[in-house]
Chains A and B, each alone.
Chain A
Amino acid sequence: MLEVKKVNLAYGQMQVLKEVSLRVHGGEIVSLIGANSAGKSSMLNAISGLVPLAGGEILFEGNPIHSLPSHEIIELGIIQVPEGRRIFPYMSVRENLLMGSYSRRARPKSSEALQRVFELFPRLAERSTQLGESMSGGEQQMLAIGRGLMAGPKILMLDEPSLGLAPIVVEMIFKVLQEVNRQGVTILLVEQNVKESLDISIRGYVLENGRVSLEGAAKDLLENSYLKKAYLGL
C-alpha cells in the first residue's frame, strides 16, 4: 500500500534520512522504531507532504505522492497523528474532531465517524465541549487519535503516541489501535517505546541516524540480540 523508496531528506546541511526504504502492506501494523532524532518524525512528515524530499520516491497504492501538497495527501486517506498531538487548544473536543473530517472525502461521513469515535473513547464524549488545552496528556492523545480516525483513514500514521503518558494509558491506547486495525485501518506506528509497539505489530523497522539498521518480522526483532541490548536494556 505504502512504499518508501530510498528516500533522502535534509534540513539545510543536515541530512536526516539517508536512502531509507520501507513498506507497509494493507491491513498491517508496522512499527518504525528509533531513538530521538533518528529521523522518525521526519519520515512521517515527508510522507504527509510537510517537507520535501531531497531524493527518492514515496508511492501510495502504486502512485507517487512525494510531490503532492499536504492537503491532497490527506484526501488520499494518508492521515498522521502528529508528535505532541497538536490539537487545537482553543477549540472544543467536538470541534477538534470535526476538523478531523475536514477533507472532502471524510466530510459526508462526519456524523457517523463522530459516533464511532465517541464509542471508542467514551471519555471524549463526556468532555465534548471542553477546550483542547484543558485536557490531560492522555485525553489529548485520545483526542488526537480520534481526530485522525474522523478522516476515515486508509492508513493511519502515529508519531510517538505513548510519549509522556502513564503506562496504563499507553496500554489502553495500544489496545484501541489494535481494535482500529481490526476494523480495517492500516497502521504505521513510530515509537521509542519498542516493546509495546512491536508487540502489536506484524513487522518493524529500526531507524538509526537516518538509516534503516534492522528490519523484519516483529517477533524476530524482539528476539534480536542487538535490539535487546540497545533498546530494551537486556
Chain B
Amino acid sequence: MWIIVGQSLISGLLMGGIYALVSIGLTLIFGVMNVVNFAHGEFLMLAMYLTFWVFHYFQIDPYVSLLIVAPALFLIGAVTQKYLIQHLIRAEHYTQIFATVGLSTIMANAALFFWKADYRMVKTSYVSSTLTFNDLVVSYPRLISFLVAIGITVLLFLFLKHTYLGRAIRATSQDITGAKLMGVNINRVYIFTFGLGSACVGVAGALLMPIYYAFPTVGLHFVLTAFVVVVLGGMGNITGALFGGLLIGVVEAFSGFFISPELKEAVYFVIFVLVLLVKPSGLFGLTKG
C-alpha cells in the first residue's frame, strides 16, 4: 500500500515540476503585465509540436532541441507581445480576454488544420527506461524532465534576483511608476517578460514530449492546470507557482489512483473552487518575489 502511495507521490512530483514551469511562465507574465494570456496553453502546444518536428526530421533528442525550442518560443512570445498584446495592455479588460481567447482558438485550430488531430509522440531510445530504488520504480525520462524543469526554475530565480534586467522585471511588477523613474524602458521589459514566460513554456513543451503526446488541444488541459496552480500559488507569485505546481502534480497523481484517472480535471476544479472560497489570494499570498 505504501509503495503505491510512494509511487504516486514520486510520479506526481515529477509531473508537478513541469506544471510548475508552465505556471511560472503564466504567473510571471501576469505579475508584470497584468495580462491574462488565455493562449498560454497554445504556446505550450506549439513548443511540443516544434520539438516533435525537430525530432522527426533531424532526429534531435528533445532534451537537446530544448536549446532550439526555448529561444524559438521566446521570439514568438516577444513578437506576439509587441504586435498584439501591447495594444491590449491599456485596453478594456474584456478586450484582453477576447483577444487572447481568439488567439488561442486560432492557434489550436491552425494546429488541427495543418497537422491533423493525430497524437504525436517522440519515441526516444530511453522512453520506457526506468530506475528502481528499493521497490519504487521511477520513469527515467520523467526524472530527467523533472530535473531539467527544476534546474531551469532555479536559473530563472537567479536571473530575477541577481541581474539588472531581472530586478527591472521585478520592479516593474511592484511599482511601474517607480520603475520608470529608475530609467527602465517598460515596453522593452514587457516584450522581454512575455518572451521569457513563453520560453519557460517552450522548455516545458520540450520536456513533455518524451513523456506525453502532442495534439492540437493539448494546450487546454495544461492551461487549465496552470491557472489552478497560479491561483493556488497567488497570481504573480513565482515561488508560489513552483510549490503549487508540485502540489497539483501530487494531487493529480493521487486522485488518478484513488479516484479515477478520467476524473482528474474534475478534482482540479473542486480544488480551484475550494481555494477561491477559502483563500482567494492563494495558499502563498500575493508577494511578487
Taking Cβ atoms with an 8 Å cutoff, the residues of A that contact B are 48, 50, 69-71, 74-75, 79-80, 82, 86-91, 95, 98-100, 102-103, 106-107, 147, 151
Q: In the assembly, what is the distance between CA of A71 and CA of B289, in Å?
A: 24
Pairwise interchain contact B180-A70, C-beta atoms closer than 8 A: yes
Given contacts A71-B185, A102-B182, 13 further A-B contacts (CB under 8 A): A48-B180, A71-B183, A82-B181, A86-B175, A87-B175, A88-B170, A88-B178, A89-B175, A91-B170, A102-B167, A106-B183, A147-B182, A151-B182
Instruction: List 24 interface pairs A-B (beta carbons < 8 Å), by A numbering.
Output: A48-B180, A48-B181, A50-B177, A70-B181, A71-B186, A74-B183, A82-B177, A86-B175, A86-B177, A87-B175, A87-B178, A88-B170, A89-B174, A90-B170, A90-B288, A90-B289, A91-B167, A99-B171, A99-B182, A100-B182, A102-B167, A102-B182, A103-B183, A106-B183
Instruction: Mark interface residues in B261-289 (1 if CB within 8 Å of A CB, else 0).
Output: 00000000000000000000000000111
Q: In the assembly, what is the distance between CA of A102 and CA of B172, in Å?
A: 13
Is B168 positioned at the interface, with any CB of A under 8 Å from its CB? Answer: yes
Pairwise interchain contact B183-A102, C-beta atoms closer than 8 A: yes
Nearest chain-B residue to A45 (Cβ)? B177
Residues in B neighbouring A75, C-beta threshold 8 A: 183
Which residues 220-257 of B sit at the A interface, judged by CB distance below 8 A?
A: none
Nearest chain-A residue to B175 (Cβ)? A86
Q: In the assembly, what is the distance between CA of A88 and CA of B287, in Å?
A: 12
> B234 to nearest A CB, angstroms?
12
Nearest chain-A residue to B161 (Cβ)? A95
Residues in A neighbouring B2, C-beta threshold 8 A: none
> B175 to nearest A CB, angstroms?
5
> B180 to nearest A CB, angstroms?
5
Q: In the assembly, what is the distance between CA of A99 and CA of B184, in Å?
A: 9
Is B83 positioned at the interface, with any CB of A under 8 Å from its CB? Answer: no
Q: In the assembly, what is the distance between CA of A74 and CA of B180, in Å?
A: 9
Other-chain residue from A82, A88, A89, A107 in contact with B164 (beta carbon distance below 8 A): A107
Residues in B neighbouring A99, C-beta threshold 8 A: 167-168, 171, 179, 182
> B167 to nearest A CB, angstroms?
6
Nearest chain-B residue to A110 (Cβ)? B164
Please report whether the interface of chain B is mostly helix, strand, loop or mixed according to DSSP: helix
> B176 to nearest A CB, angstroms?
10
Other-chain residue from B164, B186, B287, B288 in contact with A102 (beta carbon distance below 8 A): B164
> A197 to nearest B CB, angstroms?
21
Which residues 155-205 of B sit at the A interface, judged by CB distance below 8 A?
A: 164, 167-168, 170-171, 174-175, 177-186
The 6 closest A-B pairs by CB, nearest first: A74-B183, A103-B183, A86-B178, A71-B185, A88-B174, A70-B180
Q: In the assembly, what is the distance between CA of A89 and CA of B178, in Å?
A: 11
The listed residue with most B CB atoms (<10 A of its CB), out of A50, A79, A86, is A86
Q: In the assembly, what is the distance between CA of A147 and CA of B181, in Å?
A: 10
> B44 to nearest A CB, angstroms?
28
Q: In the assembly, what is the distance between CA of A99 and CA of B181, in Å?
A: 10
Q: In the assembly, what is the distance between CA of A50 and CA of B181, in Å?
A: 8
Q: In the assembly, what is the distance between CA of A86 and CA of B164, in Å?
A: 19
Q: In the assembly, what is the distance between CA of A151 and CA of B183, in Å?
A: 9
Pairwise interchain contact B184-A71, C-beta atoms closer than 8 A: yes
Q: In the assembly, what is the distance between CA of A151 and CA of B288, in Å?
A: 25
Pairwise interchain contact A82-B178, C-beta atoms closer than 8 A: yes
Other-chain residue from A80, A95, A107 in contact with B181 (beta carbon distance below 8 A): A80
Residues in B neighbouring A103, C-beta threshold 8 A: 182-183
Residues in B neighbouring A87, C-beta threshold 8 A: 175, 178
Nearest chain-B residue to A50 (Cβ)? B180
Q: In the assembly, what is the distance between CA of A88 and CA of B167, in Å?
A: 10
Q: In the assembly, what is the distance between CA of A173 and CA of B279, in Å?
A: 42
Q: In the assembly, what is the distance between CA of A98 and CA of B177, in Å?
A: 17
> B172 to nearest A CB, angstroms?
10
> A103 to nearest B CB, angstroms?
4
Given A86-B178, A88-B178, A90-B289, A95 and B183 contact (CB-CB distance below 8 Å): no
Given A71-B185, A102-B164, A91 and B171 contact (CB-CB distance below 8 Å): yes
Q: In the assembly, what is the distance between CA of A98 and CA of B184, in Å?
A: 13
Other-chain residue from A71, A89, A98 in contact with B167 (beta carbon distance below 8 A): A98
> B92 to nearest A CB, angstroms?
18
Given A99-B168, A102-B164, A102-B168, A88 and B175 contact (CB-CB distance below 8 Å): yes
